[in-house]
């Protein structure tokens, strides 16, 4: 991990140096053409000596501009101070660049590449240098505004991620009390009527709770788990539900082994199954059919028949909405989750995350 970070840092530095070299070469060429027009390219002595002097002075001016530019942003950091920053950058760039141009004039004279001093020509070139400094100030402001926007976006994304994770953790914690109450009710009946089944029930119940504690506990390592890990948990959970509801619920799993390494939000299947049970009637006369499968594109499809409970008080289960928002955030696009619902079937398609 440290080696990868170091290599990435070297790569970014090499790219930055390459870009700087190209910019310096272009600036040197433009400066030579602006000073000596067609003579710059036809006289090899002027081309070599003039380019060397211009390259050194342009690089020195750039370093001074960059150092002073940071002082401007530290003095005028606010978004609403854009005009003042541009004016300050223009003043800094203009003074520095014009000063370096006038410093360059004696070098041109001493090397013999520009023997005649023309005040009018020097003033005209100084005007063009000032014009370039104004353009540079505007570009600097655009770059600064873009960096600030990226920082704001990153901070917003971090806040959204933290909020979604907190909401999901709250939903997970709400699942446990209801689950424990229902399991204990079923267990109390099984102990009397079917002791062997009760022993199996306790074993599967311990697996479910062990998994829930591992993804909810303070020592959890990741916010995602593999499909294989989630399936091992949900099989135990399905056993508890089928024992509790008997013929009232039928849950099938159909997963391709190829996608077992894909990652997903922990307790996804439990939240979806509980949502289905919460909103629909579950009875031997009208069984709830739930099918969970992987499709050919590596997505998870969750489907069940709709047979809504007829209650006057609306049922509130925020878990599925939090789950959907979590997947959308992880994929950073609105189309990451597909939700389909009609009078006969509810279906949701969730992505697997491969890294």
Same domain, 134 and 247: no
Task: Lowest mean pLDDT of 182-186, 273-277, 343-347, name the range.
Answer: 182-186
Instruction: Give residue 286's domain range.
Output: 194-351
Identify which of 28-42, 65-79, 151-165 has the greatest average pLDDT. 65-79
Q: Give the pLDDT score at 3.
A: 46
Which domain-ending residue is among 130, 152, 174?
152
Task: Lowest mean pLDDT of 73-77, 201-205, 298-302, name the range.
Answer: 73-77
**pLDDT per residue as tens digits for the range 137-151:** 888 888 888 887 787
Identify which of 8-12, 124-128, 169-173 has the greatest average pLDDT. 124-128
Picking from 243, 239, 237, the residue whose alpha carbon sits closest to that of residue 190 is 243
The band of 304, judged by pLDDT with boundaries at 50, 70 and 90, is very high
The band of 291, judged by pLDDT with boundaries at 50, 70 and 90, is very high
Same domain, 141 and 54: yes
Same domain, 204 and 275: yes
Q: Give the pLDDT score at 313.
A: 45
**pLDDT per residue as tens digits for the range 83-92:** 888 888 888 8
The structural domain count of the chain equals 2
Residue 258's CATH number = 3.30.565
Identify which of 4-13, 107-116, 244-253 has the greatest average pLDDT. 244-253
Same domain, 108 and 229: no
Neighbours of 203 (CB within 10 A): 11
Q: Give the pLDDT score at 287.
A: 93
Would you say residue 352 has pLDDT above 50?
Answer: yes
Q: Which helix (H) or strand (E) holds 33?
A: helix 2-36
Residue 136 lies in a domain: yes
pTM score, whole prediction: 0.54
Residue 187 lies in a domain: no
Same domain, 148 and 204: no
Picking from 266, 262, 271, 279, the residue whose alpha carbon sits closest to that of residue 321 is 271
The share of the chain scoring above pLDDT 70, in percent, equals 75
Residues in the chain, how many?
355
Please provide the DSSP assignment of 118-179 as one string.
Answer: -HHHHHHHHHHHHHHHHHHHHHHHHHHHHHHHHHHHHHHHHHHHHHHHHHHHHHHHHHHHHH
Q: Give the pLDDT score at 4.
A: 47
Same domain, 118 and 48: yes
Same domain, 131 and 220: no
Same domain, 219 and 102: no
Strands 299-305 and 345-351 come out as antiparallel
Same domain, 117 and 232: no
Same domain, 101 and 248: no
Residue 189 lies in a domain: no
Same domain, 16 and 133: yes
Residue 161 lies in a domain: no
Residue 225 lies in a domain: yes
Residue 114 lies in a domain: yes
Residue 244 lies in a domain: yes
Same domain, 210 and 344: yes
Residue 98 lies in a domain: yes
Would you say residue 254 has pLDDT above 90?
Answer: yes
> pLDDT: is 158 or 311 the higher one?
158
């Amino acid at each position: 991990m440290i080696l990868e970070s170091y290599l990435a840092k070297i790569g970014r530095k090499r790219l930055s140096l390459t870009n700087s070299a190209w910019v310096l070469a272009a600036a040197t060429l433009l400066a030579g053409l602006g000073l000596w027009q067609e003579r710059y390219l036809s006289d090899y002595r002027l081309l070599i000596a003039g380019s060397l002097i211009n390259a050194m002075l342009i690089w020195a001016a750039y370093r001074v501009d960059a150092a002073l530019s940071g002082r401007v942003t530290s003095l005028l950091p606010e978004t609403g101070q854009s005009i003042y920053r541009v004016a300050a950058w223009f003043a800094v760039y203009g003074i520095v660049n014009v000063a370096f141009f006038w410093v360059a004039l004696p070098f041109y004279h001493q090397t013999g590449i520009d023997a005649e001093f023309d005040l009018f020509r020097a003033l005209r070139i100084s005007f063009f240098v000032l014009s370039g400094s104004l353009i540079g100030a505007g570009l600097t402001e655009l770059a600064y505004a873009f960096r600030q926007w990226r920082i704001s976006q990153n901070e917003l994304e971090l806040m959204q991620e933290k909020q979604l994770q907190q909401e999901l953790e709250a939903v997970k914690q709400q699942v446990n009390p209801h689950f424990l109450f229902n399991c204990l009710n079923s267990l109390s009946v099984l102990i009397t009527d079917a002791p062997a089944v009760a022993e199996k029930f306790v074993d599967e119940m311990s697996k479910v709770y062990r998994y829930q504690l591992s993804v909810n506990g303070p020592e959890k390592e990741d916010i995602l788990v593999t499909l294989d890990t989630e399936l091992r948990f949900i099989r135990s959970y399905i056993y508890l539900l089928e024992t509790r509801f008997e013929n009232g619920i039928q849950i099938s799993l159909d997963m391709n082994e190829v996608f077992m390494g894909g990652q997903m939000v922990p307790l996804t299947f439990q939240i979806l199954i509980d949502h289905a049970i919460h909103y629909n009637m579950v009875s031997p006369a009208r069984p709830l059919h739930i099918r969970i499968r992987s499709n050919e594109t590596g997505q998870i499809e969750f489907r069940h028949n709709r047979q809504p409970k007829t209650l006057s008080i609306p049922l509130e289960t925020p878990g599925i909405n939090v789950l959907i928002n979590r997947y959308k955030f992880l994929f950073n696009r609105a189309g990451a989750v597909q939700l389909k619902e009609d009078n006969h079937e509810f279906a949701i398609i969730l992505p697997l995350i491969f890294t």
